Amino acid sequence: MSVMKRVSLIFRAKADKALDRMEDPRETLDYSYKQQVEMLTRVRRGVADVATSRKRVELQMTSLQKEITKRTNQAKTALEQGREDLARAALQARGQLETQYDDLQTQYTQLQEQEEKLTLASQRLDAKVQAFRTRKETIKATYTAAEAQTRINEAFSGISEDMGDVGLAIQRAEDKTAQMQARAGAIDELLASGALEDHVGGGADYIQAELDKLGATAGVDDQLEAMKREIANSAPKQLEANANGDGGGSASAAGTPAAQQPQAGDGL
Amino acid sequence: MIVRVLGEGQFRVDDDTAAKLTVLDKDLDAAVHADDEAAFKLALGAAVQLVRAAGQEVGAEEFVTADYILPFSDATVAEVRKLLADGTIHGDSLGLP
């Protein structure tokens, strides 16, 4: 038998089984209505859960974007300082972050779709439940028990299909959200512990540490130069010659901060 | 004929569309049997598009059961197999007694 037919029979069998169990047809209406209202609450909660998940992914994307910007800036600074090795490492780290970001982007789109679908499902069920409530009262008021049976069966089976449909949709959304939450939790942990940084940077952000060192050294160099200029301007010519000699030494050692430090001390 | 697309509601389709759906349904069945995800995706996509385009949405105030039910538009073979295999509708614990 065909797929579409078999699926429809599964839904119908479920409704038929439920109808068989009901002794008083009118009770069926009230019972079903109660279930429908509960299902509405459930689908609305489902929509809210998916939205929460989506927002969490959104926050993570913002965090990752910050990291990506940081790595870009590090690469630029490193290149300015003539440290191509550090620039390369920063770009490699950025590449890995970008992969994570793209992955989150995909998840985000999927969650958005789920949210939209579930919202629509919730609206459709809402309209159906309102219609059922009206129908239920009409059936109770207008028909004799025998006449009512057929109409009750129709209404019950009809809405049962909707309930099954929405139930499946909620289940899918819940599964999806659970999967995403597990992954999001892992990324949150990584971001919080700085492990992501460590992992992609190949150390406790050694790129930044190196750059900070370079930055500090450059700062000292600048101050030295400024002081020397001051002294040169205010003092006689012998000092000026001396300062020029030191300035040359400092510039040649710019790439090796360790070697430069004692030299700077000598100059002072 | 009434066709439901899971997650999208019920649609009323004419005989011509129903005939086209029957052909696609055979493809769906073959794909599920062969565990052919690509073929399944193709047939399901075509069937859902057809129902959306040619079908007339059934209003909320109408209580009818569908003759055909199509899986969710992004369903997988595994998902459909599961539904067909255990014949129960998961996540519907509240829906029916």
Asked if B35 and B79 count as a contact pair (C-beta separation under 8 A), the reply is: no
What pLDDT is attached to residue A96? Answer: 87
Percentage of chain A exceeding pLDDT 70: 82
Rounded alpha-carbon distances, angstroms, from residue A59 to A53, A65, A101, A188, B26: 10, 10, 11, 10, 45
Place of tokens 């057809």: B50
Query: Does the pLDDT at position A263 exceed 60?
Result: no
Q: How many CB pairs under 8 A join A and B?
A: 139
Using a CB–CB cutoff of 8 Å, tell me whether A238 touches chain B.
no
Using a CB–CB cutoff of 8 Å, tell me whether A231 touches chain B.
no
What pLDDT is attached to residue A221? Answer: 81
A20-26: long-range pairs with CB below 8 Å, 24+: A21/B97, A25/A145, A25/A148, A25/A149, A25/A152, A25/A153, A26/A139, A26/A140, A26/A145, A26/A148, A26/A152
- For residue range A101-130, what is the model confidence (pLDDT) as tens digits? 998 999 899 899 999 999 999 999 999 999
A interface test, pick of B51, B64, B89, B93 with most A CB neighbours within 10 Å: B89
| Strands B56-57 and B68-70, bridge-based pairing | unpaired
Tokens linked to A198: 């460590």
What pLDDT is attached to residue A209? Answer: 82
What pLDDT is attached to residue B36? Answer: 96
Q: Between the ranges A89-98, A144-153, A181-190, where is the mean pLDDT highest?
A: A89-98
Query: Does the pLDDT at position A76 exceed 80?
Result: yes
Element (H, E) at A88: helix A84-142
Asked if A41 and A164 count as a contact pair (C-beta separation under 8 A), the reply is: no
At A256, the pLDDT band (50, 70, 90 cuts) reads: very low
- For residue range A42-51, what is the model confidence (pLDDT) as tens digits? 999 999 999 9
Nearest to A157 among B21, B65, B84 (CB): B65
d(CA A265, CA B41) in angstroms, rounded, equals: 73
- Mean pLDDT, range A179-202, rounded to an integer: 67
Residue predicted with more confidence, A236 or A61: A61
Residue predicted with more confidence, A25 or A103: A103
At A242, the pLDDT band (50, 70, 90 cuts) reads: low
What pLDDT is attached to residue A145? Answer: 75
d(CA A44, CA A122) in angstroms, rounded, equals: 7
* Of the candidates B48, B55, B13, the residue with the CA atom closest to the CA atom of residue A3: B48
DSSP annotation of B72 reads P
B interface test, pick of A4, A45, A128, A162 with most B CB neighbours within 10 Å: A4
Q: What is the mean pLDDT of chain A?
A: 81
Handedness of CA A6, A11, A15, A20 (dihedral sign): positive
Sheet holding B56-57, edge to edge: B56-57, B9-12, B2-5, B68-70
At A243, the pLDDT band (50, 70, 90 cuts) reads: low
Element (H, E) at B3: strand B2-5
- Mean pLDDT, range A85-89, rounded to an integer: 90
What ipTM does the predicted assembly reach? 0.89
CA angle A36, A40, A45 (to 5 degrees): 150
Query: Going residue by residue through chain B (97 aa), what tens digit of pLDDT does each one get?
Result: 999 999 999 999 999 999 999 999 999 999 999 999 999 999 999 999 999 999 999 999 999 999 999 999 999 999 999 888 876 665 444 344 3
Asked if B21 and B3 count as a contact pair (C-beta separation under 8 A), the reply is: yes
